[in-house]
Amino acid sequence: MAIAGVIAMKPHVLILDEPTAGLDPGAHHDILEMIEEVHGAQNNNIIFVSHNMADVASLSDKVMVLDNGKLVMVGTPQEVFSQKAASGVDRTQCAACYKFDVSVKKQVVSPSTKTC
């Protein structure tokens, strides 16, 4: 697994681009658990790129939302997924947040305070 090789190098910043894409639910859970364990053990900074807003909400302490290549929101998961983010951008105008709103109707997401 390519992720394991990079983690073994103990980088100060670890960038993970869609690390759970295409995985079955069990493997998806295992990867997220591994990310949390690595962060706890190495106290590194992890940039976690994902279209899965449930994962973003549960793993992150700071969320940055890009829309059409532009940074439109920055804040805690609670701020970003609330009516207005710290940047003042209305989430109804943001494609990424709109997708999150649609998916939340099917599942409940509880943002944690874990750092990522």
The residues with which 65 forms a beta bridge, in sequence order, are 73
* 18 among known catalytic residues: yes
* Catalytic-role residue among 18, 33, 37, 79: 18
Secondary structure (3-state) at 20 = coil
List residues with catalytic annotation.
Answer: 18
